[in-house]
Amino acid sequence: MLRDNTSKVVLIGGILIILFGAVAPNWIVNQLMFGFSRALAILGLLVLWRTGLVSFGHAFYFGLGAYTVAILDIQLGVTDVFVRLLGGACLAGLAGFLVGFIMRNYRDIFFAMLNTAISMVLYGIIVKTESLGSTDGFAISLPTIFGVAPETKYPLFVVITTVAIVSALLINFYLKTTIGRLTTPIRDNEIRVEYLGFSVAHAIHLKYTMSAILAGGAGALMAMSLGQVDPDSMINWTVSGELVFITILSGPGNVIAPFIGSLVFEVLRTYAFELAPHLWQLIVGGTFLTIIFFLPGGIWSLISKLGRSTS
């Protein structure tokens, strides 16, 4: 059996990327920030995806995280990056915990659509509420870190990458615990899991809450990297669709996959908009079909194949 080197790779790779960011041009640092922020949400969706659950509404938590940062900034003048991040993640986590009581009873398309419905209710409310920025949203000030207002975006990049490393390590560990292993078994046969003596509802509730915390954190970090929030880029169902797309693109094989998948997505989008602006949906849709048909393990399956043939 192969030894699992994931945590080492995450740690060393993460540190190298932080160092690389110090010398990389601005646009690369920006792409990395967007990619890693979004990857946090994918990490949570990966856990659900392994369990056979696809949420077409996680923009709800992503948006909650992002808007919490906006409200903290504008209403309360909170600038500290950690307070904003924790605020966003905790609020989304709390919402996920509460919604989880309902959601843990749903599967398949019903799970997907109830999530969509809830996220679209929030979208509908924000779009029509002037005090929540309506369709325009809010601009957000650059966060301070330990009380210092940074000159560049690099310190924020370091924070985001560190959060990404820690989250990847935590989820990697979680997936090795007994409760964390209860993904494929639940997807394959819930009746058996119950008869073995574990509550499927509790297991799903925990996974769902975790995914909400991660999506909330992702939204908060994304809001700070972008410097603004608006409903269409934070809560609309297209955002949820993007998150699902990146999850499939990444593949469920490893906690590193979401980071690679998110970066590929960022690059794909940047170039697609430059080269063929009218073909974006075609590219996304085509990639979707290609992956589902020819690469069910996503990009990660390519990488792990490569790793196996070289070792």
Partner 1 sequence: METFLTILLDGLQFSSYLFIVSAGLTIIFGVMKILNVCHGSFYAWGAYTSAFFIGKFSEMGLPDGLGFVVIVASAIIVGLVLGFLIEQLILKHMYHRDEVLIVLATFGLFLVLEDVILIAFGTDPYFAYQPMALLDSVEMGGIVRDVYGLTLIGVAALVAAGCWFLLNKTKWGTILKAVIFDREMGISMGINVPFVYTLTFIGGAILGGLGGAYIAPTISVAPGLGTEVIVLSFAVVVVGGMGSIMGAAIGSVIIGLLRALAVHELPQVELFVVFAVMAVVLVFRPEGLFAPAKPRKI
Partner 2 sequence: MTESKPILEVRDLLKTFGAVVAAKDINVDVRKGEIVGIIGANGAGKTCFVNMVTGYLKPTSGSIAFDGVQLVGKGPREVTHAGISRSFQVSQVFHTMTVAENLMIALAIAKNRGFAALREMDSPDLLTRRDDVLTRYHLDSYKDMTVNVLSQGVRKLLDIAMAVVSEPRILLLDEPTSGISVEEKFGFMDVVIEALREDEVTVLFVEHDMEIVERYVSRVLAFYQGEIIADMSPKKALADAKVQEFVIGTRH
Site for partner 1, rule CB under 8 A: 52-54, 102, 105-106, 108-110, 112-114, 116-118, 120-121, 123-125, 127-128, 191, 237, 241, 244, 248, 278-282, 284-289, 292-293
Question: What x-and-dash track marks residues 172-211 binding partner 2 by CB under 8 A?
Answer: -x--xxxxxxx-xx-xxx-xxxxxxxxx------------
> Considering the complex, what minimum distance in angstroms separates the CB of residue 210 from partner 1?
20
- 136 part of the interface to partner 2, by CB under 8 A: no
271 contact, one of partner 1, partner 2, none, CB 5-8 Å limit per kind: none
> Considering the complex, what minimum distance in angstroms separates the CB of residue 40 from partner 2?
21
Question: What x-and-dash track marks residues 155-174 binding partner 2 by CB under 8 A?
Answer: ------------------x-
Maximum alpha-carbon separation in the chain:
58
Question: Within 13 Å and on the Cβ side, how many CA atoms surround 108?
Answer: 3
Round to whole Å and give the CA distance between 222 and 204: 26
- 107 part of the interface to partner 2, by CB under 8 A: no
Nearest CB to partner 2, comparing residues 31 and 301: 301
Which residue shows structure tokens 């996959």?
257
What letter does residue 25 receive in the DSSP assignment? -
Question: Looking at the DSSP assignment, which residues form a beta bridge with residue 145?
Answer: 148
117 contact, one of partner 2, partner 1, none, CB 5-8 Å limit per kind: partner 1
| CA 14 from centre of chain | 17
What Cα–Cα distance (Å) separates residue 112 from each residue in 18, 98, 103, 233?
36, 17, 10, 20
> Considering the complex, what minimum distance in angstroms separates the CB of residue 271 from partner 1?
16
Nearest CB to partner 1, comparing residues 53 and 224: 53
Residue pair 82/20 in contact (Cβ under 8 Å)? The answer is no
What Cα–Cα distance (Å) separates residue 149 from each residue in 58, 79, 94, 141, 157?
31, 9, 30, 10, 14
CA torsion sign for 10, 142, 243, 188 is: positive
> Considering the complex, what minimum distance in angstroms separates the CB of residue 198 from partner 2?
5
15 contact, one of partner 1, partner 2, none, CB 5-8 Å limit per kind: none
Length of the chain, please? 311
Nearest CB to partner 2, comparing residues 165 and 182: 182
Round to whole Å and give the CA distance between 57 and 103: 12
Q: Which residues bind partner 2 (CB under 8 A)?
A: 173, 176-182, 184-185, 187-189, 191-199
